[in-house]
Structure 1
Amino acid sequence: MNRTAQAVRFDQYGDRDVLYVTDVPMPEPGSGEVVVEVRAAAVNPFDTVLRSGVARHLFPVDFPAGQGSDLAGVVVAVGAEVDGLAVGDEVLGWTPAAGAHATHLAVPADRLVAKPPRVSWEVAGSLHMVGATAYAAARAVAVQSGETAAVSAAAGGVGSFLVQLLTGRGVRVLGIASSANAEWLEKHGVVPVPYGDGLRQRLEEAAGPGGIDAFIDLFGPEYLDVAVALAVPPERIQTTVAMERAAEIGARTDGRHNATAREILVELVDLVASGAVEIPIAATYPLDRVADAFAELERRHTHGKIVLVP
């Protein structure tokens, strides 16, 4: 094994220009860990939250800091007290300590599962955060077969996973997104509803006389206001981003930490491997273009996932 690895680091809070790639010592597996040679690692909005420092009171970091949680790769070293994984195994999962944007990483073995051969590296490295967030959001509002749910940012990373998860459970989904994503949404059994002025009226028309039973927001507080105006009960409104507004109206704020069990990851992987859920890949970037990857992410209208391929 090489003596050094490469990793994305930042030494201070700031915009994406604080990111750099540097040589780091090759990680050694501790007890219960394996070292993974990373083949793909997703770029997620939460990485921007950590790096910017806007939530440093909740998620402080020690400098120099790494970033990235989702990953997929090949096991290249195994530590003590590890069962079920061996050198050469292809795996996917997540790391509890930010650092997946790297060529190699030591990861707790219980955060990894086998990567099915039919799942691409890019998809495998994108699966955990979007899948767990979608799973937690759906569970938070207890949406059932035959009900109608509205989802904002329905064609984004989490949104595209969530709408497929819901339609697969027999839920009628109204997907709020740009008109450019209407064809993809319709193809996946979703009723597309363009965002913008007049959204409430368009949702009412799309919902019909039965109304909207649940509302899941993946974009911002303005959508919680729309949900309230549509008379959706607060306990059936969920957001992953608008925490302050959610507290004001009594909405739910379940995040991926509510669905990080390994058993749930296995279930999510099975959905993807079977073709029941598709994860669109919007773009891939090499590690040294990490700032460009975040520039694309931060436009906030990406369809699918942006992935680093070290």
Structure 2
Amino acid sequence: MRAVQFDTYGAPGVLHLRDAQHPHPGAGEVLVDVYAASLNPVDWKVRAGLVAANFPLTFPATTGRDGAGIVRGVGPDVDPTLMDKRVAFFAPRGQGTWTEQIALPAAGLAIVPDDVTLIDAAAMPLAGTSAFIPLVDIANVAKGMRVLVHAGAGGVGTFAIQIARARGAEVFATCSQRNADFVASLGANVIAYDQAPFETQVSDIDIVLDVIGGDVHERSYKVLKRGGLMVCLNAKPFVDRSAEYGVTVKTAPILPKREILESLLQMMGAGNLRSAVEKTMPITDFRQAHEMSETGHVRGKIVMLIRNDDGTPVA
């Protein structure tokens, strides 16, 4: 069994595709053949050691936070009908998904609808959950609200636009002019930040989803109406000026929840949500994938192909 692992923090060169120990499902766990795994910005940040305080590792560590595959074994105290089911999942803390097999808690899996591909399912768990929790659990976005999504062409942003639209909100999203047509196709009013400062292009916003922090956070206060809410997935530190502007600022802890995965997969199955996959890459291109993610210019998601449709490992 192969996995993409690293023995120390560093550049993409520390990653290696190599033989790894076969996992065995324990009590309450299932064994999953991983067919596809997502690439999220946190993956390269973990590899580089930039978030070591929040993501402590035991080396060798396997990269990747989420994916999709087929259940091939069940441990004690697990419903045997899960066998051969297509599932989407998060990796438990300390595990990675860029591997041909993984043992996971059955309680954290979600069944993938028949009309959703494993590639699209693999792209969703972390980015989709990172959009759902701020907009639904925290902001309770509803019909008639005006929502601003920063980084609308990114992994979280693409899901956030669609989730807010599905709940009846009017959505505005920042992106570069290069990505304007793509972001508009998701249902957002485009705010091209490289044409003019975003705060001069939109105002009277009820909800801001800030996935950037820093200067973008600071400038976002100006577009919120009094009584508005900014929810932050903090990429950079920020100064809380909510009292000065008469708004509320909340941070969104992103914790895996089966119920959220099920809700998002149901939306995908019904055609109300789609994964914006810019590129699929064979697992053998693991270093190139990390390098692409580090540029910060990936449109939507990159998905790594780990198994072929017939279940054989990608060569």
Task: State TM-score, norm by structure 2.
Answer: 0.89
**What is the 5 A alignment of 1:42-191?**
42-83=38-79, 85-97=81-93, 98-139=95-136, 140-191=138-189
2:212 to 197, 219, 232: 219
Q: Which segment is superposed worse, 240-249 or 136-145?
A: 240-249
Measure the CA separation in 2 of the matches of 1:263 and 1:171: 22
Measure the CA separation in 2 of the matches of 1:189 and 1:126: 19
1:40 counterpart SS class: strand
Segments of structure 1 that go 5 or more residues without pairing to the other structure are 205-210
- 1:199 maps to which residue? 198
**Paired residues of 2:9 and 2:49 also in contact (CA < 8 A):** yes
Q: Which amino acid aligns with 1:109?
A: A
**Paired residues of 2:207 and 2:224 also in contact (CA < 8 A):** no
1:40 to 19, 36, 41: 36
Q: Which amino acid aligns with 2:171?
A: V
Measure the CA separation in 2 of the matches of 1:233 and 1:142: 17
Structure 2 vs 1, CA of residues 282 and 99 (structure 1 numbering), >3 Å: closer, same or farther?
same
Deviation at 1:10, TM superposition (A): 0.6
Measure the CA separation in 2 of the matches of 1:246 and 1:104: 43
Segments of structure 2 that go 5 or more residues without pairing to the other structure are 243-247, 307-315
Q: Aligned pair count? A: 298
- 1:252 maps to which residue? 250
Deviation at 1:277, TM superposition (A): 0.8
Deviation at 1:193, TM superposition (A): 0.7
Q: Which segment is superposed worse, 237-246 or 5-14?
A: 237-246
Q: Which amino acid aligns with 1:198?
A: P
Deviation at 1:186, TM superposition (A): 2.5
1:237 to 211, 230, 235: 230
Deviation at 1:187, TM superposition (A): 2.8
**Paired residues of 1:228 and 1:234 also in contact (CA < 8 A):** no
**Paired residues of 2:213 and 2:237 also in contact (CA < 8 A):** no
**Paired residues of 1:95 and 1:111 also in contact (CA < 8 A):** no
Measure the CA separation in 1 of the matches of 2:172 and 2:144: 13
Q: Which segment is superposed worse, 243-252 or 176-185?
A: 243-252
Q: Which amino acid aligns with 2:230?
A: I
Q: Which segment is superposed worse, 233-242 or 182-191?
A: 233-242
- 1:272 maps to which residue? 268
Over aligned residues, Cα RMSD in angstroms?
A: 1.9
Structure 2 vs 1, CA of residues 90 and 242 (structure 1 numbering), >3 Å: closer, same or farther?
closer
**Paired residues of 1:33 and 1:78 also in contact (CA < 8 A):** yes
Measure the CA separation in 2 of the matches of 1:126 and 1:109: 20
Deviation at 1:180, TM superposition (A): 2.4
Q: Which amino acid aligns with 1:145?
A: K
Structure 2 vs 1, CA of residues 233 and 239 (structure 1 numbering), >3 Å: closer, same or farther?
farther
Measure the CA separation in 2 of the matches of 1:153 and 1:248: 21
**Paired residues of 2:155 and 2:301 also in contact (CA < 8 A):** yes
Instruction: Note the alpha carbon deviations across 1:90-113, whole angstroms, 9 max, x for none.
Output: 111112133101011111111112
Q: Which amino acid aligns with 1:131?
A: G
Deviation at 1:26, TM superposition (A): 1.5
Q: Which segment is superposed worse, 195-204 or 31-40?
A: 195-204
- 2:302 maps to which residue? 306
Task: State TM-score, norm by structure 1.
Answer: 0.90
